[in-house]
Amino acid sequence: MTKLRYRNALRALLTPAELRVFARLDTPQKIQTFLDRLPANYELDGDTVLSPRRMLQTRVAHCAEGALFAAAVLSFHGKRAWLMDIQALPRDQDHIVALFRERGLWGAISKTNHAILRWRDPIYRSPRELAMSYAHEYCLPGGKKSMLTFSRPFSLARFAPKRWVIASDDLHWLMDALDASPHVPVAPAQAMRKRRRSSRVELLAQLVLEWPDPRKRKARRKAKPKTKGKKPRRP
């Protein structure tokens, strides 16, 4: 399906309210700002992979849901869009961004609740160059670098927009397909073993949350006052 036909098929699925939202987000920068203003999806009722329609209804998003929404809006405007899956050590969480191109250079739209792993300006000459910009800051709370692999650009154009843009069911099948797609190691095993741990000041940045966990707020209200407390960990 050509970009024009895909765009038209996607537009035909949207409600008037959805059309207005998609239409005004006509640049990657505007899409990122929109996602930044959405609270983080803490999946309080269990794992979710909300379609763009359901994300707009619930008004929350995690990284995968934000990337899917960004890809849908880019496609709405007739632009090519891809997902990139960044895989980490089992003790850490993976991350997903939406890729786009401007003037032949690659950028990324990223929904995250942290001060790291965020938006990337379209200044990178290749997907690998962009992916590697995340490698240094991707680490566990103790400082161990945790990024392992990243996927090749994963196009959603292979799936009819009806399957993922307006789906009422969670899109776990799509995440499985992305997870099973070709991935590239960050570096050879010997180089990975020699990575230096993040310094203390770098780890402090990981404690910054844009949207606090509502479960912790409730717990603090119920708990008795304490003079000391443990530092919060990245969710």
State both tokens at 154: 């994963």
Q: Look at residue 229 in the predicted model and tell me its pLDDT.
A: 42
Q: Look at residue 216 in the predicted model and tell me its pLDDT.
A: 81
Q: Look at residue 221 in the predicted model and tell me its pLDDT.
A: 56
DSSP 195: P
DSSP 138: -
Q: Look at residue 227 in the predicted model and tell me its pLDDT.
A: 38
Low-confidence stretches of the chain (pLDDT beneath 50)? 225-235
Domain boundaries, given as residue ranges, for the chain: 3-222
Q: Count of alpha carbons within 13 Å of 182, Cβ hemisphere only?
A: 4
Q: Look at residue 87 in the predicted model and tell me its pLDDT.
A: 98
Global pTM reads: 0.92
Q: Look at residue 235 in the predicted model and tell me its pLDDT.
A: 42
Run of H or E including 105: strand 105-109
Q: Could you name the CATH architecture of 3-222?
A: Roll (3.10)
| Chain-centroid distance, C-alpha 33 | 14
